Chains A and B, each alone.
Chain A
Amino acid sequence: MSRNYSALALLRGALGGNRNWDQAWRSPEPRAHYDAVIVGGGGHGLATAYHLAKTHGMTNVAVLEKGWIGGGNTGRNTTIVRSDYYYPQSAAFFNHSVSLYEKLSRELNFNIMFSQRGMLTVAHSRGEVDFQRRLVNGMALNGIDMEMVTPDQARKLCPIMNFGPEARYPILGGMLQRRAGTVRHDAVVWGYARAADRVGVDIIQNCGVTGIDRDPASGAVTGVQTTRGAIGCGKLGVAVAGHSTMLADMAGFRLPLRSYALQAFVSEPLKPVLDVVASSALLGVYVSQSDKGGLVIGGNADAYASYAQRGNIPTAEAVSAALVEFIPSFSRVKMLRQWAGIVDYAHDSSPVLGLSPVPGLYLNCGWGGGGFKAIPAGGETFAHTIATGTPHPLITAFSLDRFRDLALVDEAAAAGIEH
């Protein structure tokens, strides 16, 4: 059990030459059997394990991670947390997630640095302003803190945007969510890992799942085959984003998901120059500045399905051009790194969260480019679903059955860009 983090702990650490820190989490050998196994040591998997132990008293739980925890999309995304979702089901879920994020540093005793600096999505035409009004009104009616902003207000929030006469697309307004912002993504992983470990969860890294064992009679999951041997389990939660279809394949069913590379970029570190998250769906770019000073930039997902976790030139060109068109003074700022994560999309860009066709196997996937912001609520509701065998009320709309029932929650049409 590691000691609490605090300013006092830092002082104690300093006095001890920082040689007295506990492990943030243990690296135990896997046991032969767990009551629940979560595949995927990203934010969702770790948050789920944490809640299974903390909220539902299931302490015989393991998280299996193929590589290092947080090495997938949780550690690759552009760190934006927001809840500007249109449909009531999404709004309720993502707004709950933002609320949980607001308390997460304390909950986990780990500073995840939620910087609620506000997210501004600009509109470049009268049609786009009308569309934003539709979104903002809908979101406001669903209890989300969304507001329309005028061009003048947009200029105050972000004066370096392209308000010049040479702009291809003038800025005619925008919509703003003040509670939105950025979160230090790795901190979410480590914070949940440490908190889960503290309540007894085993975090097993370098443990790839190679097969899923099922009871021949009932079809129920009985365990997994891994690169570190067979591990039995009562329940199996799968939270592996872009690789969900592969896990489903091991369990003998298919998922209506497609995986794409979503690229991102970070610049050299700069003194504060951008105080909001600024986004333009029409230009295809969004940007924020990390507390370290780097600009974190994203665009649209690649147009073709892929598992290649790396950047390419066409996207670099398109996003760079959009960035310079959006904020012309960033032309001379230098790109430091380009990378990609593999995001899994359903038809309607809403998650698949809940039961699967296989008894004892539960699904947490289909987040597309939006999984990071969902981690606290995803973990909480997924743990509830696994522990009780019944979907949490906040996620019933996101069941796999919705594709059979044609009850889609089509956020694809409402968002316009991943972030």
Chain B
Amino acid sequence: MSGFRLKDHPRAAAAEIGFRFNGSDYRGRAGDTLAAALIANGVVVVGRSFKYHRPRGIIGSGFAETNALVQLGTGAHTVPNAVATRVPLREGLAASSVNCWPSVGFDLGGLNDRFSRLLSAGFYYKTFIWPSWHLFEPIIRRLAGLGRAPTLPDPDRYAARSHACDVLVIGGGPAGMAAARAAAGGGVQVTLVEADDHVAMEPLPNLRILTRTTASGYHDHNLVTAVEEIDGPVVRQRFWKIRAKRVLIAGGAFERPLLFGCNDRPGVMLAGSILHYLERHGVAAGRRPLFAVVDDQGYDVAIAARRAGLDVVGIVDARPEPGPIAAAADALGIAIYPNHSVTRAIGRKVVSGAELIDQATGQRIRIVCDLIGMSGGWSPAVQLFTQSGGTLRFEDRIGAFVPDRSVQNARSCGAARGIFDHADCIADGAAAGHWAATGEDREVPEIAAAVRAPLHLPPPGAKAFVDMQTDVTVDDLRQATDENYRSVEHVKRYTVWGMGTDQGKLGAVNGVAVLAALQGLAPGALGTTKFRPPFAPVAFGAVAADRLLGPFFHPWKHLPAHHWHVAQNAVFEDYGWLRPSHYPEGDETMAEAAHREALAVRGRVGLFDSSSLGSIEIRGRDAGRFLDLMSVGSPSTIKLGAVRYNLLCNELGTLMDDGVIARLGEDHFLMTASTSHAERVYRWLDEWHQCEWPLALSIAEQTARWAVLTVAGPRARIVLENADCDVDLSREAFPHNQIRSGRIAGVVARIQRVSFTGELSFEIAVAADYAESLATHLMTCGAAEGIIPFGLEALDLLRLEKGYIHIGSDTDSRTQPADIGWGKGIARKAGDFLGKRSLLHPSASAPGRAQLVGLQPVDPAVVLPIGAHIIGGDPHPSRGIVTSSGFSPMLERGLSLALLDGGRALMGSVVTAWSEGRSWPATVADPGVYDPRGERLNG
């Protein structure tokens, strides 16, 4: 093949563009695709096939290109497996062939081709078993794969856009344009997407045209996704989600190759693609083309090639009686070979001729040519239609599958449903457009009955490729059939036919026809393999576009007083919310800071930001009843202004969360939830309310509306007394487990006497906007008492000393209330509640359940690693886990909480904790060792 540019085509006058391919410099023209420019420069071999590393040239002109895959660019901008027929030429573009070494011209992997019979369908299932697959796998891996993935982060960005319209037209060819015009004429909002860079139609006010936009997926409820190529300095692609009332699929058709020996040689092309390069790009793919056809459709190309000045050496027509169109070709002096077919392409690396056979006599002749154009008929692009749920039927008139039954509001028109005549396409598109705008059906053209030659199976050994990229031949399909892989899905998986980057656009229909013939069935009897989204490969970055990445992947949740914490030198950590873990002074480590902060709380007073604790209000006539159903306890009996510790279980009686419930009014409760469980607890309440117990109440998640600051420590009351608070703070008027409303420094506040540290605590909630001013105010008022802010690390030490648990860390998916010492009252609770059945089940009181205990390492300096196991169990070695650990500032020793099988019966005994090969003896103790009688929190 010796491609060249036609001098009298307008493209020849377009601006020159320089580009590189495989290290050589070339010049193309503005408007070229990379494929067109390569052909114009006479480049023939552009890639190597997947398995046999056979040299491959450009075979097509669009999505169905399976050979011309290139690596575009380098470094972070590189794109693997770009399809040269879809890459617009740009100044400075650099591309190289994939899957070849050392070069595309001389590829050592080409040795595979010599041994191709050893490497037939599924050969790897039959060998490489001894001594071990691991010996062979690295070599196979290196040989497989095509392009190279970038290894640097993607510097480009992707945009996303949602769009709604009345009518979406997919494809801007003759049928698509007619459809869009007719639909727009009906006054509705129409959007047309076209993969190419222009649509040759007039603008209309209610028609939006998106060029360089490829519909990629067709999902439920007429949701179509599309990828728009932007290639801008910032945005590379835009991912569209288009919801249309009606969708018209006018995506055209794919031409089928013919099955003859070496039909994969560079220089063998689809006839329609030869025409595409001639007409669109003014590029001839060869000087002496030969065309092989099975019906009238290839003749047009031969005639056009002749008119463009090429030396068309003949048309090989597989039909005994060529149609009337043969006369037109004959008139141009083109030789016709009726009742002949090509048996093989001649030429080692590129086509230098073709061998024909006279089907009547069996006589073979050779013809010299540098290009073979194949026209095996056209298959409608039904991929999006089947994605929509539509079914297909085999249409004998065109030898391919066409859309049959739609399940969504969609129609196919034009070539996408087997209408190939230009005028018919326009009429079909117009009818579809009219239907889309009005819902009215109009008469549509019939699929034309063509005289076609039947499928001709090449003889064994012919190396006739059904799927070029994956190197699947007719012989492979034959072998798979012999081996009883009969379902098309089995054959696909066994031979990898249709699994290339084109996902069968080139070879699927030929393949099912061959398989059916091998099984003695009608061509459409086996159906097709499943066409999955996307229609054409889509960058993950483009699909991800709508979900921002980095800091926005899961947006940070900042506390309302975040900036205040920053000013206090807080170190933040992500606990679902970005919360201060500690406030180091000087060069303190985290452990040192936490130690200091915890001692300050025990000795004086500290300020802790509790704003991230879940805050859920339940309000309504049945609020108390509902909470009783949801809780282990009976919140309905909480007195007005009182607060009570509460446990939530799931149906299995397993602990979900703990917290406190405050009664703000007769029908008004405030529930707190752990930071990490807040969202789940809210959804949990909501689900049970909506699905099981639709009682008279409403549930509102209020966490973000409130800032909650906790003043904790023996001097907490003094701090508040100095803080311009209008609530009576005395021990008698405001005891532990009570809630009051009032004002602090004029700001409306809810104050609760609850404690997560074991110290006297006031938890003050104000509107979130007042967070920073309240924090500043409290620090000022507490300055004389030595108040300092303390973070989660200190809180963790304080709760550990008290044995206060964190549900989810100190409990697991089996832990029930009794296992943490809250078993009393469950059997007595009269009403039903979530988990009751499970908690009264014998398994809940079985011996040996894992129970919460404290652990004190025998060596007080040891801090057991969280996640250590307690060993020595029987029959299984593990008998428990260390769930929390730290070095207690008050006891000056390591302390842990643990879930230990039958733990409460083991108090005082020494067990062995083990982690990653190390072990430590530790004494089983009560979980709460500091102030065990809980006197300090009463202040």
Interface residues, chain A, with chain B CB atoms under 8 Å away: 5-7, 9-11, 13-15, 17-19, 21-27, 67-71, 75, 88, 105-106, 109-111, 113-116, 125-127, 130-138, 140-142, 148, 159-160, 162, 164, 166-169, 184, 186-187, 190-191, 205, 267-273, 283, 291-293, 310-313, 316-318, 320-325, 328-339, 347-348, 405-408, 410, 412-413
A271–B145 CB distance below 8 A: yes
How distant is A162 from chain B, measured CB to nearest CB, in Å? 8
Whether A329 pairs with B501 at a CB distance below 8 angstroms is no
The stretch of B199-207, B559-567, B730-738, B871-879 that contacts the partner chain? B871-879
A138 and B150 contact, CB distance less than 8 A = no
Residues in A with CB closer than 8 Å to B621 are: none
Q: Which of B135-194 contact A (CB under 8 A)?
A: 137, 140-142, 144-154, 156, 158
Asked if B213 is at the interface (CB within 8 A of a chain A CB), the reply is no
Chain A residue with Cβ nearest B80? A270
- Given A21-B483, A25-B484, A186-B493, is A334 in contact with B877 using a C-beta cutoff of 8 Å? no
> Does B537 belong to the interface (CB within 8 Å)?
yes
A27 to B483, CA, bound (A): 11
Give the distance to chain A from B135, nearest Cβ to Cβ, in Å. 12
Q: Which residues of A contact B146 (CB under 8 A)?
A: 268-271, 293
Report which of B141, B533, B875, B878 forms a contact with A272, defined as CB distance below 8 A: B141
B512 CB to closest chain A CB, in angstroms? 14
How many B residues touch the partner, as a band?
A: 35 or more
Q: Does B612 contact A (CB under 8 A)?
A: no
What's the Cα separation between A190 and B140 when bound, in Å?
Answer: 21
Which of A7, A325, A336 contacts B127 (CB under 8 A)?
A: A7
* Docked-complex contact B125 and A111, CB < 8 angstroms: yes
Over the window 124-137 of chain B, the binary record of Cβ atoms lying under 8 Å from chain A Cβ atoms (1 yes, 0 no) is: 11111110011001
A-B contact list, 6 entries, CB within 8 Å: A6-B127, A13-B120, A142-B878, A312-B219, A312-B220, A331-B153
Interface presence of B520 (CB below 8 A)? no
B residues in contact (CB < 8 Å) with A: 50, 76, 78-81, 99, 115, 117-118, 120-121, 123-130, 133-134, 137, 140-142, 144-154, 156, 158, 217, 219-220, 223, 225, 241, 460-461, 475, 478-479, 482-487, 489-490, 493-494, 496, 499, 501, 503, 530, 532-534, 537-541, 543-544, 546-554, 573-575, 652, 809, 812-814, 838, 841, 843-844, 865-869, 871, 875-878, 881, 914-916
Please give, as numbers and ranges, the residues of chain A lying within 8 Å of B844 by CB-CB distance. Answer: 406
> Given that A9-B126, A160-B151 are known contacts, is A137 also in contact with B914, CB under 8 Å in the complex?
yes
Q: A113-B124, A186-B494, A291-B141 are in contact. Are A333 and B540 (CB under 8 A)?
A: yes
Contact B533 A24 (CB under 8 A): no
Cα distance, A24 to B484, chains bound together (Å): 6
With a cutoff of 8 Å between Cβ atoms, the chain A residues found around residue B220 in the complex are 312
Among candidates B137, B483, B548, B553, residue contacting A113 with C-beta atoms closer than 8 Å = B137
Partner of B144 from A23, A186, A283, A292 at Cβ < 8 Å:
A292
Q: How far is the CA of A338 from the CA of B127 in the complex (A)?
A: 31
Interface pairs A-B: 7 shortest CB-CB: A293-B145, A133-B867, A331-B541, A331-B154, A334-B537, A321-B547, A413-B813
Instruction: Select the residue from B483, B543, B875 with max chain A CB neighbours within 10 A.
Output: B543
Q: B127: shortest Cβ distance to chain A, in Å?
A: 5
User: A111 touching B118 by the CB < 8 A rule?
Assistant: no
Cα A187 to Cα B225 in complex, Å, equals 34
A321–B225 Cα distance when bound, in Å, is 16
A residues in contact with B544, CB < 8 Å: 317, 320-321, 323-324, 331
Residue from the list B493, B553, B573 in contact with A75, Cβ < 8 A: B493
User: A14 contacts B120, CB within 8 Å?
Assistant: yes
Q: A71-B487, A271-B147 are in contact. List 11 more A-B contacts (CB 8 A).
A: A111-B128, A141-B878, A168-B551, A169-B574, A269-B144, A270-B147, A292-B496, A293-B145, A324-B549, A329-B151, A332-B539
Decide: A335 and B534 in contact? CB cutoff 8 A. yes
- Given the complex, which residues of A lie within 8 Å of B151, measured CB to CB? 159-160, 273, 329
A330 to B538, CA, bound (A): 12
Contact (Cβ within 8 A) B814 A330: no
Cα A260 to Cα B540 in complex, Å, equals 24
**Known contacts A329-B153, A413-B812: does B129 contact A105 (CB below 8 Å)?**
yes
A138 touches B881 (CB 8 A): yes
Residue of A whose beta carbon sits closest to that of B224: A313
B536 — nearest CB in chain A belongs to which residue?
A334
Verify A27–B147 contact, CB threshold 8 A: no
CB distance from B938 to the nearest CB of A (A): 32
The reply to whether A109 and B129 form a contact with Cβ atoms under 8 Å apart is: yes
**What residues on A are CB-neighbors of B547 within 8 Å?**
317-318, 320-321
